[in-house]
Amino acid sequence: MSERLVRDFCDAWKRRDIDELLGYFADDAVYHNVPTDPAQGHDAIRNVMMLFVPMSKEISFDIKHLAEEGNIVMTERVDRFVMDGGTIELPVMGVFEVEGGKIKAWRDYFDMQQFMSQMPS
């Protein structure tokens, strides 16, 4: 069940609908892009998503590997963000904690320098 939720969540990014994405999270969820500060709760998570979703014409999360143990789902992915002026392709390791059918915590580990070096100018 946790695996299906995470797969559906990763697939939902292609629609770039922040309200839909927030629906996958528990009210007090924590979203942590590990190179930055964690965001807790829907409002804080929305603020983080607003930094890159609106500027992206296309978003896709390509899951390379997935492992599930209890309520923990780990993904090795390549996240792609197509923007005016270029595309960012970022290898990411993600850890999802699922509770009550919602994402309680999501931590993504990636190289911020690799992300920044691909940002269109």
Q: Which positions are catalytic?
A: 79, 108
**Closest CA relative to residue 13, chosen from 47, 43, 39, 49:** 49
Please give the backbone phi and psi of residue 3, each rounded to the nearest 5 degrees, phi first: -60, -45
State whether residue 41 is helix, strand or coil.
coil
> What gap in Å lies between CA 23 and CA 13, rounded to an integer?
12
